[in-house]
Amino acid sequence: MRNLLLPEIQALLKEKRLDVLKEFCEESHPADVADALEGLDPEDISQILSLVSAERAAEIFGHIQDHQQVKFADAVDAKTVAGLVQEMDPDDSADLLRELDESDAAEILRHVRKGDREDVKLIGSYPEDTAGAIMTTEFASLREDMTVDEALESLRREAPDKETIYTIYVVDSGGRLTGVVSLKDLILAAPTKRVSDIAERDVISMSADADQADVAKKMQDYDFLAMPIVDRSRKLLGIVTFDDVMDVMRDEATEDMYYLASLNTDERVFTNPLKSVRLRAPWLLVNLGTAILAAFTVSLFESTIAKYVGLAVMMPIVAGMGGNAGAQSLTVIVRGLALGEVSIHGAWRALMKEIGVGFLNGAINGAVMGMIAGVWFKNFWLGLIMFASMIINLVIAGLFGALVPLVLRTLRLDPALGSSIFVTTATDVGGFFVFLGLSTLLIGHLV
């Protein structure tokens, strides 16, 4: 059936046409149903979800946006939430509970059946942004002494509860990961062969403490559907699946873009305006502090400017161009770190390159601007000062644009967070200081 829109759903609710709503929830893709339900009150969502099986309800609820899930969980009773939590993918459940008040989460967990509760607790015990926090415990595994036929039979029994049965892990009696086999290989193999004969022994796995971004990068490199997550003794704890990795990739890219623009990652286009103000204001105030620092630099040269006001006209150009060039270097390095093109290894070469590029682009833009300034103010020396300042400030831009994210990474901090503030401060203060400083030294030639 076609997708329903919010007003249609509201009308159907009002007219108590629950049969139509039930059909919609059962027939449409859970993501589409979730999309349609998001504008409703928690009570209405709860009523609609109660029309379908617990499993289906959880599938739909799992597709509702995170902050809407939290709003729902805060509004309805713990038992209802528990009914959804125990049917959802355990990583999604852990994610939701992490966002709730600790006492609410505990109350909900009390109503979750034992096996699921333990899974959710295990996943919830790993810090956010680690492999452990996004893995699922619902993976398919086999013993290596099974025949292919027995393996397929066992998968048939287990499949309905597993998140994927396309990559199957082979474990020993201690639950330690010893191999991996794809369903494709099982289907292709002779039924009497042993799992041990067709399993790949060289299994790539990652630790539960691994950074989720690293898991995503590895899975993308290897085109993996799922990545097995193990503890120190190689015991298989769970798997991270491709759909979670897509979410990680999206969120990590958003985070980097937001950090470069001094934004809080909690913000979205339609975040409540007052909340947006609250989230952006601290960043702007920090930027204001650095702007005052730049203004203070200018104030050191007030008497020079008073002698030759043309300097006030030219001075934003040097600082502004430094800001642009700094943003270029910073973005190339931040993205390069995220994509694994550069690491601490290679940092020196990257730094030297950015300084060199800054020098050459400084020379190009400095030559153009030097000539324009010389002609505009009919003053050769102003042109020369412009040329020299542009080169120096674009070298500063390259230096700080590369250095700041590389140092943050070395300190195990996010290379994007706050970096643009450092870089802009360097290019603003540096640009004003160099341009006005040179002008002060050469003031005799200017006036």
Please list every residue from 318 through 377 that binds its own copies, using CB under 8 A.
319-321, 323-325, 327-328, 330-336, 339, 341-342, 346, 349-350, 353, 356-357, 360-361, 364-365, 368-369, 372
CA distances from 67 to 6, 39, 71, 121 (A): 19, 12, 6, 21
Q: Which lies closer to its own copies via its Cβ, residue 50 or residue 324?
A: 324
Least separation in angstroms between CB 78 and its own copies: 28
313 binds its own copies (CB under 8 A): yes
Q: Is 62 exposed, middle or buried (0-12, 13-18, 19+ CB in 10 A)?
A: buried
For residue 230, the 8-state DSSP code is E
Distance CA 299, CA 98 (A): 50
Does position 310 bind its own copies by CB under 8 A? Answer: yes
101 binds its own copies (CB under 8 A): no
Let me know the angle formed at the C-alpha of 88 by 82 and 92, rounded to the nearest 5 degrees.
100
As to burial, measured by CB atoms within 10 angstroms (0-12 exposed, 13-18 middle, 19+ buried), residue 222 is exposed
Q: Tell me whether residue 131 or residue 332 sits nearer to its own copies (CB atom).
A: 332
Token reading at 95: 């994610």
Q: Which is nearer to its own copies, 130 or 393 (CB)?
A: 393
SS3 207: strand
- What residues between 379 and 438 interact with its own copies by CB under 8 A? 424, 428, 432
Judged by CB, which is closer to its own copies: 26, or 44? 26
For its own copies, the binding residue among 5, 6, 106, 253 (CB under 8 A) is 253
Min dist CB 56 to its own copies, Å, is 14
- Judged by CB under 8 A, which stretch of 66-74, 131-139, 231-239, 245-253 contacts its own copies? 245-253
DSSP string, 236-283: EEEEEEHHHHHHHHHHHHHHHHHHHTT--TT--TTS-HHHHHHHHHHH
Nearer to its own copies, 16 or 157 (CB): 157
Q: Is 266 in the site for its own copies (CB under 8 A)?
A: no
Render 20-75 in DSSP notation, one character per residue. Answer: HHHHHHHHS-HHHHHHHHTTS-HHHHHHHHTTS-HHHHHHHHHHS-HHHHHHHHHH
Establish if 150 lies at the interface with its own copies (CB under 8 A).
no
For its own copies, the binding residues in 4-63 under the rule CB under 8 A are 27-29, 31, 35, 63
165 lines the binding site for its own copies (CB under 8 A): yes
396, 388, 386: which is closest to 425 by C-alpha? 396
**Residue numbers 102-131 binding its own copies by CB under 8 A:** none
Nearer to its own copies, 100 or 216 (CB): 216
Q: Which lies closer to its own copies via its Cβ, residue 76 or residue 367? A: 367
Query: Which of 135/319 has CB closer to its own copies?
Result: 319
**Cα-based angle 160, 163, 164 (whole degrees, multiple of 5):** 95
User: Counting contacts by CB under 8 A, is residue 254 touching its own copies?
Assistant: yes
What are the percentages of helix, strand and coil residues in the chain, rounded to 5?
A: 65, 10, 25
Q: How far apart are CA 239 and CA 89, in angstroms?
A: 12
128/221 with CB nearer its own copies: 221
One of 225, 384, 407, 442 touching its own copies (CB under 8 A): 225
Give CA–CA dist 426/195, Å, rounded: 61
Choose, by CB under 8 A, the member of 15, 232, 309, 345 that binds its own copies.
Answer: 309
Query: How many residues form the binding site for its own copies (CB under 8 A)?
Result: 109
Smallest separation (angstroms) from its own copies to the CB of 436: 10
